[in-house]
Each structure stands twice: as structure tokens, then as C-alpha cells.
Structure 1
Amino acid sequence: MVPIFQGFWAFVFAILISVSAKTDEPDVSALNVMYTSLNSPHQLSGWKSSGGDPCGKSWEGIKCSGSSVTEIDLSDLGLTGSMGYQLSSLTSVIDFDMSKNKLKGNIPYQLPPNAVRINLAGNGFTGSVPYSISQMADLKELNLAHNKLNGQLSDMFGKLSKLTLMDLSSNSLSGNLPQSFGSLSSLSTLYLQDNQFTGPINVLARIPLDDLNVKNNKFSGWIPTELKDINNIETGGNSWSSGPAPPPPPGTTAIPNRHENSSDFNKSGLSGLAIGGILMGILIALVILMALFSRKSSSSSHYLDDEKLSHCRPFTPLVSHELSNSRHYPPPPKIFKDRRSLDSSSSIDMKSLQTSPSFHPKPPPSDLVKPLNESEFANRLGRRSTSVCATVFTLADLQAATGNFATGRLLGEGTVGRVYRAKYADGKVLAVKKIDSALLQSAGPDKFSEIISNISKLHHPNIAELVGHCSEQGHNLLVYEYFRNGSLHEFLHLSDDYSKPLTWNTRIRIALGTARAVEYLHEICSPSCMHKNIKSANIVLDAELNPCLLDCGLANLYQRTSVNLGIGYNAPECTKPSAYTLKSDVYSFGVVMLELLTGRVPYDSSKPRMEQSLVRWASPQLHNIDALAKMVDPGLHGLYPPKSLSRFADVIALCVQSEPEFRPPMSEVVQALVRLVQRSSMNKRGDDASASRRMDDDYF
């Protein structure tokens, strides 16, 4: 019995070991892709192109902690090819060493996001230093020496306060050193020799360097005095200026010596008494400002427009799995450079609306903020197929909430009317679209009621719900939710590079969600419903950056206007309103996808004549891989999967064809975008064929 008992426990122990050693699926998938990209080398014993257990089976060069891969050391193995495009999934990798191999091409747009040490030296990498390094806040050592890297360094070093060693030597890097070098507060070793850097090296004076090599570049100016006491410094082979360095410009303070203590600095700078006087003055000024602000706040009305006080609309970007976790995401959004675009109605939390004495709209399902898989999406449509009566507002109520439609409450002016912010005393906010009365005068008294009836029947996760309406004293008003994040147009065109949270996966999700909304209008509604005004300004984004299409059900009003859409969105056949068809909507949606891909507006008169029309400029290049890479929105900083980019461009090319009959129906566009997601998720997670038939929410 004892041997049997011992054998039983040995079996249980073996099972426990095998379970605990099972490697995390994202790590396995990333290593599978890497193995294939490295041309399946025989040197990597144990590695597989699909599946496997790197931690349990001891793959060559792989070390783990529990079920997570923590170290990849494949140095000096004669490896060829590339490292694959799923390195961002290796979130537990601390050490990443691929040095002394024969790898070529660009360094992948993403590297293990939480790496502490990265060594890619001694390969044949071309292109530039990947911008994603800027988000690796834990990085301590970076070695990219002895490659063929070129171009200028981006200003990407502001977050790398833990970096102690950086070796960029023996490449072809050029341009001035970025000012963010000055943020490398822990850097002790810096090798820049044998490149083509130009300009001064003054920015290095603030870094606590002990070992610096800048030989054989094209640096100019003077070597800062602060660098001359470095233990090891090499500066030969540059174009340094001769003679004594000029004094600092008037009004500037010299950089203190790196090894001087604070008391020495006080002796050579301001006295303690002077510093105390300055601090006292600042304190008094702050007290005065606070008193003034308090007085202003207490006297303001409860209609105070807090969003107008600051255009920096905070939100939480939905970061895709292309990027690492949130602490490595680019800086938080800065102030928008312009006010809201036209036709940008936006929304608030519907739960708070229930407490308003004026209306009691039905709140949407709480799970709408999450991306939906195919079965959930079908169920959602089934649950929301019935019509919901919109609340009737009084004109007096809306006038009070909008300050009598004051100019200061104007959000934008669109094709059929103006949009205003309606803010209530308890803080609730709505968007009110005031229909141009001239559009309804010749249509008869029942036309507005017909429009309300049609809009009220539209229920879809990606279509803005009608909250209520009002028709009094010649005023015809539609009331919608208010989306604080604003429109897609704003994110793409009115914000600076650092306030764009739209990662590649987020853009694909916006395209897919909008496509589903249009598919619902075209192929699920009976009779079919044309939109006639699809554009980025009519796509608003909720708190999770899910898209919501505005102005659905207003096509009959557009029929009465002289212009259907904004310039650049019109399909070639739309020479008059009556010529508009469902395929014209498809074209307009294709233009929106082009905006997502390029970051450009549909029509830009400031560009050269051949580039003013986005469709005319982009269409011939959508199937050219090299040209396509140059078209991508610079705001993405190269963070996108090349294959996904190419497939997305293929969908765009189909939609913006000049002949309507060749454009696909929206159901095919949706299927194409779903397949794009499925292919990416299969590559990323190694899912089997059955899993590939469902939407992979994790891709987003």
C-alpha cells in the first residue's frame, strides 16, 4: 500500500507542477510569432511556431517566473529575420537581449513594454529608434549600438528617469540632441560616438554622467564646463569651436556644477534672505488670487459652463493591447487647440438624468461601454428592437437650460440647424439640436412628428439615442445625450500630438462600431434608412471611446438643403440631393476611415493642389506598401501592425471607388473589419479555428 500511496502523491505532484508551469497564453503567442519571424531557426531548441509551453519545457534562452516569461536571451546565435510584431504582449519580460545576430529591417514598433534592460546591439537594424521606448518608464539599460539606424532622435526621453546606460554608438543617427535628454536624471553612461549628430551638446550638462563618448560626430559649439570633470570623456573628431566659450545670454542663470552642493550654489547665487523674500511674495500673490477666485465663483450663476472655463476635457483613453499598461501610455491630453467642431452633439451619464423633474428617459444598458462580440451584438439588437417614446420637453425648460439659446452655449452649426448645450441647475447636461425652421415650413405640420417617430425607432449601441423633443411656437428641437469627449473630428484634427489618445486598435474599433451603425440603418431597418451626412464631426465618442453616430433619421431634411455633406465627403455621383443612394453613404464612411488612417481632413486647401482632396491623393497609394507607410497619421508614432494597416487600406479602397456599383454593401464592410480583427487576434493569441469565428474583445 505504501508504494501505491507514494505513487499517487507523485502523480498529484506532477500534475501540480505541470499546471503551475503552463505559460501565459499571450507570452506563448508572442514567442510563436517571434520564432516564425526569425525563420524558424534550428538553434532555438524547444521553440514552436504554434502553441507549446516555454516555461514548462525550458525553451532555449527563455527564463520564467511562475507562468510568465521574464527573460529572453538569444544573444550571438546567428539569428536572421526579424523579431515579430507581438513583443508588446511580453509584459513580464525584464531582460531582452537579441544582440550580436544578423537581424535586419526596422526595430519593431513595440518592444516588451516593462523591460528594464534591452540589448539589440550588433545587428543590421535600419530605420529610427522606435518611439515606443518613450513609454518604458522602468528602462535602465538601452543598447542599440553597431546597427544601421538613421534619422533624428525624437524628443522621447522625458519619462526615462531610471535610465542609467544608453549606447547608440556606431549608427548613422543625425540631427541635434533632443532637449528631453536633460530629463535623464539617472544616466551615468552615454555612448554616442561614430554617428552624424550635429549642433551643441549643452543639454548633457544637466545629466549626472560619469562616462561620456561623443567622438566622431559633427557636434559644434563648446564643450560645457560642467562636463569636463567627468571621469571618462571622449570628444575628439567633432567641429568644436576654439577660444573661450561666450558668457550665457543676459537674464539667464548659469547651470550649476553637477558636483557642487546646495550651500555652494547659494553662495554663488541668491542669498537666503532674497529667497525668503521671493517666497513670501509668491505666498501673498496666491492668497490674493484665491480670494478673487472665490468671490467670482460665489457670484456666478448655476449655469456656469465649467467646460468653457477649461477646454482640457479629461478622460481615460482606452489603451489597446498594442501598448503596454496605462502607466506607460503617452502624456495625458493637453489643451485642445480649437473649440468644438460643427455638428458635435455630445452626452452625459443617463443615470443622472433620472433625477431631473423635467423628464425620465429610460437609461441605456450598463454594458454598452464594452466592446461586443458577435453573439452579444445580435442579442443587443434583439433586445432594443422596439420603439421607445422620447420625452416631450417644454420650450421654456429648454430656453432656461440653454440660456435662451445663447451664443455661449452654441456647440456647432450643422447642415440642418444649430446645436446647443443645455445645462440644468443640478449639473445635468444635454445637447439640443434646433432645426432650421425654413426646412419644415413647406413640409406641412406633421413632418416634424414624422421625423420624431422615425428617429425614435432607431435603437443601436452605436447610434445616439433621442432623449426628447419639443415643438412649440415655431421651434422644432431634438434633444440628445451629451458626449463630453466630443467628436472624432476633434480628436483627429483639433488636438495636438500629445492629446490624441487614439491608438491603432482604438481607431479600428471606431471604424467597426460606426460601420455597424450604418449597416443597421441600411440593412436591418425596414425600409432602409440612408444617413446622408456621415462624417467625423457626426461621430461622437463616449467615456470608453466607443463611437456613436449622430443625426440618424434626418435624411429627409437633407433632401431640402442645397448641400448634403461637408466638402470632401460627397461621393462623385452626389451632384444633387436626389442622386444620393445607400452606396453614397458607403463612400462617405470610406472617407472617415481615410481620416482615421492618415489623420488628414477630407479637403485641405492649404496643401498642394494634388493633395487637397484626401480621396484623390490617397486612393492611388492604398495598395502601395511603401507609400502607405508614409501616409499613416504621424500621431500614431509608428505604433501599428503593418499587416493590419494594409488590410484596413484594402477596405478603404473598396469604399471610396468612384463607381457606386463597385462599392460593397455595409454588411460586407463590417465583415471585412471583423476579419481584420480576427486575423490579428489569432496571431496574437494563437486561438484555434473555432475561436477565430468570434469577435476577440481582447484585441481592443
Structure 2
Amino acid sequence: MFPRFALALTVLLCVPFSHGYTYEQDVYAINYLYLALGFPLLPGWTAFGGDPCNDNWQGVQCVNSNISAIILNGANLGGELGDKLGNFTSLITMDLSDNQIGGRIPESLPITMRKFFLSANKFTGRIPGSLSGLTLLSDMSLNDNLLSGELPDAFQTLTGLINLDLSDNNFSGQLPPSMEGLSSLTTLHIQNNQLSGTLDVLQDHPLQDLNVENNLFSGPIPAKLLNIPNFKKDGNPFNTSIAPSSLPPPPTTFPFSHAPAPANSFRGPTQNGGLPSEDNNFSIIKAVEYVGPGVILLAIVTLMVILNVSKWQQKKLKDEGIHRGQVVRKDERPEEPQISIDFIKPNKGDKVLGESTQRQEYNFNIQRTIAHPMPQLIEKDTVNPVVTGKKFLRDPAEILNPPTSVAPFSVASLQQHTNSFSEENLIQDGSLGPVYLAEFPHGKLLEVVKLDNKNSDLPGDEFLKLVKTISEIQHPNIVELVGYCMDFGQRLLVCKYFSSKTLFDVLHSDDVGVKEKLSWTARIHIALEAAKALEYLHEGCRPPIVLQRFESSNILIDDDLSVRVSECGLTSLLPSGFVTQLSGTRPVFASYDAPEVSDSGSYSERSDVYSFGIIMLELLSGRKPFDSSLPWAEQHLVRWASSQLHDIDALIRMMDPCVDGQFNVKSLSRFADIISRCIQQGSEFRPPMSEVVQDLARVI
């Protein structure tokens, strides 16, 4: 049995994982769980790689490319859980109840879990103290197992726990003081154990269902508990004036001898007056014969894996030329940034009108710990020895030359504050990946850009160069980067939250009332502020930054009509080969592209100017760059409008009806003249953005 297990472990560690849709860290975690369970016959499951989210593994549920639930109750499973559950990045529900799984509940658990069901199994040992890290937990059932020992004093942080079932085990000792922190607890079943002491720690909870039957609880029952609708208490020595004292400590002498055992004795007393029998000797010899080869084999396998991993990583480091100036080890992990943001939380129910009309300035006080350089890189401390495709999963604490101007965030923290990157927290689908709202305590808001699957393959050193470059972009009309995350191969950018509304949302909303808020003066103001941001990128940055993908959905506006440009420089700064081709997913881009981009794919500052001209046309007309619902001659905004920009009567007819005549004809003519110069077919005829800014300022 043991050699087969060792062989399976060797193959698992040495065979590359397939690179499918499912996030590779989750694939690694579920592969290891499958190994620990003993390779049960589960449809779709495989021990090496695989694609759980795409291939519909039995009992596996996903949100996008992350495994969010494993539900295999009553599946006749055996084995154990292993020690890699903590590697799941977004697991919310684990239901393995009514099986034959044994061993201990592992210390490493997914901190994103909300529902944890292991009832009716054969688990032994204690509940791990790491339970305190499951701060999102709402339901947990560990009943009908062989668990024992005292309950861990680890409940203080579980303020969201609603239902807890620990019944039918062998728990002993008193209820820990931290159970006073279970402020949401409504159902608690702890019957049929050996628990003792009083129930005082439970008296302030909103309990509706409490079962403490068949334990050793004593003392008076708190009056508040007697008001619980469903309170079962039989089988306890209640109503005694003095609680029975705890059991005395075990005797220091052996029961068969009043003298202490000899110092060199390594076996306990036997029925022969303390002398070991021949049967015992034979059993020990047999045990050594069976276990000895297995231990030796495991040591050999482990040594081979470590050597192979070390050689592979050294070769990769040499080939890629990665410089590791500073490495943060696990015991030197930077602290989570402490962020103080004064901001009024928007109403997420309405992404267009949900912004606060009064907003205070952000005040960021970010504290971080910068790791000191290590004299030598120790592979086993910084590399997770699992091959995935053509690269290693690096330890989440490994950071290569981290930038000092922004803060590193842990993926666990970002998962917690984005509700595990849920659809409810999705702000928009950005050009390089989805953007999520991160809600920190006391109304602190950030936004997290989660680079899509292709761009998440960006090497660590290149990603940090990207972070450093973007962090140096500082302008009042550009969204500010404040942090990043590269744990477990993730590539996440953390920015100040400004608004969930884009100019595209407001201009093309079906709600006429929303569009009417954009007066003609407000539209000129928005164009000017966006132009200032583009001028800074082109002429204030060295080297200049070309947006490439500039459209009205990149321009964020709030209820005060302030402007921030998002995703500045992301597309052009990513190395060649890592930029996702967006033509299939965001066809609207083609309507913003300059002619030379469509012809040769050549981007420049002047191609950004062309895109800005299209945005000005949107502001003037209220039309989309391309609208298939219009007659064919009017579908392409530039083609339809370009010939009318110098005809004042045509301009007035072209004006967005929502402006309703509230505009100055002279300013309209000047605005149209700027558009005309920006959308020239030849790039050499388009003005620089500094000139556009000056001209727009004159229009106002």
C-alpha cells in the first residue's frame, strides 16, 4: 500500500499540469485532494492536471475560472483531506459529509470558506486552531465524527457564524472564552460529548436552537438561555451549587509499581509486571519490516523531487536571466497595507446614478514592511515544488525587486474584500480583465483589476516593472495605482476607487434624465479634463505613454462630473505577446481606431488623438461610434459626421437632443473644428494634445 502511495505522489509531483481554463492554483489543490482521498471513482476527476471548471468534474462548481464549491456528500469517499486545502483561492463551500473520510482536519484551510460540512465521517483528533482564520464562515457541521480533546479558543473572529454543529463526538473540557464572540450564532448543537463547566459564554447570543444534552455541564443555567425557543438540556448535572472539579492529573507512577520506570525504558508496563512479552517483540519486528521500507522509499522520493525541482529552477533562472535582488520569505511577509480612505460608499444597486454627490478627498496612509536582501536564495523556502505547464508556481511571499511607491496586497485579503471576486462586486469588464470593487471596513473602497488568463502569465519581474511604471503616473485626472498582488501566480492591480460610471454609460443610457445632466458646458468640461490626462501621458511622461485603446468607457465620471481616465498605459506597457487580442470581445474598439491602426496596427500619440476626436463626437452628438440600429449611411459616426462639421446648420441638427438648445453656437463651431482636426485621415495632420487642450480651454 505504502509503495503505491509513494509512487503516486512521485508521479503527481513530476508530471506537468495541463494548462486549461481553471486557475492553476486551484487545479493543484484539487489534484492533491484527489490524491489524499485515494483516487476515488468520480466522473471527470483526474489526478494529474485536468480542467475542473471546463470539464464538469462531479461535485465541482466554479465562478469563472476559480473553483468555488466542492459538494460530494454521500459519495462513499475514504482516505484523508491532505494538507493543501489552503491552496484553494476562492473556495466558498465544501460539503464532504456522510462519507468514510478519516485522519485529522488539516491546519491549512481555505480562508474564503463560508460553508464547511464534514459531518458523518471518521475524522479524529482536535479541531485545528487555524479555524480562527475562516473569518467568512457562516455554517459548519463536524458532527458524527471521532473528534476529541478541548475545543480550540479560536472563535473570536467568527462573528458571521450562524449555524454550528459539533454533536456526537468526544469533545471534553469547558467551552472556550472566545465563543462569546459568536455574535451571529442562532443554532448550536453540541450534544453527546464530554463537555463540562457552565454555559455562561452562550448567554448573549441570538440563539434560537440550542442542544447541550448528554454532557457534563454543571452550575445554574443562565436565565437568558431559558428563553431560547428550542433549548434541550437533559443529561447534564445542572442545578448544583458548585460545579464538579475537573479530573485530577494522571498519576506520575505506574499502576503496577510504586517506583518510577527506569530512565532507559522505552516501553510502557505490560501484564507481565512491566516486562515486554515475546508477542510484543514479534509485533514490533513485523511493524519495522513493513514500515521501514516505506519510510526509506518516501525519503528517496522526496530527495529526488527536491533535487529535480532545484535543478529545473536553476536552469530556468539562468535561461530567463531573472535577477532576485530581494526575496520576502514567509516569516518576513510584508504587513497588509493600512489604508485610511474618507469616502462615501456608492449605492451599488444603480451603477449609473449610484455615486454620492458629496465626496471627500482620499487620504492614504500606507505602511509596509520591505524585506531585507538575503545572502542566498533557498529554493525550498521560495518555490512551490509543483510543475504547471512550463513554469513553477512561486510562493505567494516571493517578490522580485518590489516597487516602494505602492503596497503589496495578499490575494486572501483581496478575495475577502471583493466577496471572492463575485459578480456583485464586478464594476466593469476592462480591456485587460474584469475590475472589482473591494470594500474594506468603515467604507474604504478600492478597485481591483484582475488581469485575464493570458495576461496573468506575465513573468514576475516583468509584472513588477509594469507596476513600477504605472505607479509613476501621477495626474489629477488619472486613476491612481496604490498596490498590486502576485500571490500564487495572480496578477492583480489595486487602484483608488473613483466611480463605477463611465462616460459611455451616461451618454448612451436609456434614461433621458441621466443624459440631460450633461449640459453643453459640462460636456466641454469633460472633454477638457480627459484631454489634460492624455496630454500628460504624451508629453509629461518619459518615454511617452500611448493609450492605444482610448474610448469613452475608459473615462470615469462621478456625480460632480469630475473625470478620471482609467487603464492608463496598461496595453502599451505590457510586453509584446502578452496583450490580449480584444477584437473578438470588444468590437467597439474598431470604431475608435485611427486609419493607420486598422491598416498596419501602428499605434502612436496621433492615433490616440484620433480616438479622442471620436469621443468628442460622442459628446457632441450623443451617438455611439458605431450603431447598427441606424440607417446604413449613419451607422459609422465618423463617416456620417465628418462632412458636416463645418456646416453650422448641420451641426445644430447633429447636436444631442438632450442638450435641448442650451448651447452657444460659437462654442459649438469651435468644438467641431477641434474634432475635424483630430480625425484627419493622415496622422501628420492631427494636432498634438497640448494644442487640443489649449483650444478646448478657449471654447470654455
The reply to whether TM is greater than 0.5 is no
TM-score (normalizing by structure 2): 0.43
Q: Greater CA radius of gyration, 1 or 2?
A: 2
TM-score (normalizing by structure 1): 0.43
